[in-house]
Amino acid sequence: MTSPKESRLANLISTWFGCGYSPAAPGTAGSLAALVVAIVLHELAAFGWWQFLLLGVLTCVPGVWAATRTARASGLKDPGMVVVDEVIGQWIALAGAHAYHWKTYAAAFVLFRIFDIWKPAPVRQLESLPEGLGIVADDVAAGCYAALLLWFGGYFHLY
């Protein structure tokens, strides 16, 4: 059984501080929030590709835990209010960038959202993993696809 304090913490993390309660497109709201955090981290702390990758990877553990708790509490396999997975995927997508400016941020956002919605193989299959692991794993894979395309775009000087 989860204590009320654990439930509140899980809800805070899984909804990414309330972004998941957006009345329209909560996943997009979570991705935008992750992008704002990333821009601030880049501008103020000079975060680059490896810091965004590390941030995404390190957020997986509390993200899976929180997504599992929130899914259990709601009785849904993948509740729409859980957006920590979009946050993680967005940060992983940014790890593919060669440089950071408005074009990079826009491309990372659009590419991640496309792969998150489209769910090409094996992204969709990862959803079948149990509980929070399945909720988070598909967005990690979508973020990896977006990072790869972003990296190739930078390699060929498209941005």
In degrees and rounded to multiples of 5, residue 46 shows phi and psi of: 55, 35
Kindly report, residue by residue over 133-159, the tens digit of the pLDDT: 999 999 999 999 999 999 999 999 988
Q: What's the domain range around 99?
A: 34-155
Average pLDDT per block of 10 residues along the chain, 159 residues long: 89 98 97 98 98 98 98 97 98 97 97 97 96 98 98 93
- Whether residue 27 lies inside any domain: the answer is no
pTM of structure: 0.96
Residue 105 placed within a domain: yes
Q: How many domains does the chain have?
A: 1
Instruction: Quote the pLDDT of residue 37.
Output: 98
Residue 59, in any domain of the structure: yes
Residues 92, 109: contact at Cβ < 8 Å? Answer: no
Distance CA 64, CA 73 (A): 14
What does the DSSP assignment read for 5-47?
Answer: HHHHHHHHHHTTTTGGG-SS-HHHHHHHHHHHHHHHHHHHH--
Contact predicate 42/100, CB 8 Å: yes
Q: Is residue 23 part of a domain?
A: no
Given this model, what pLDDT does residue 1 score? 62
**91-100 pLDDT tens trace:** 999 999 999 9
The answer to the question of residue 149 being in a domain is: yes
Q: Is residue 81 part of a domain?
A: yes
Q: Considering the domain boundaries, does residue 17 fall inside one?
A: no
Residue 91 inside a domain? The answer is: yes
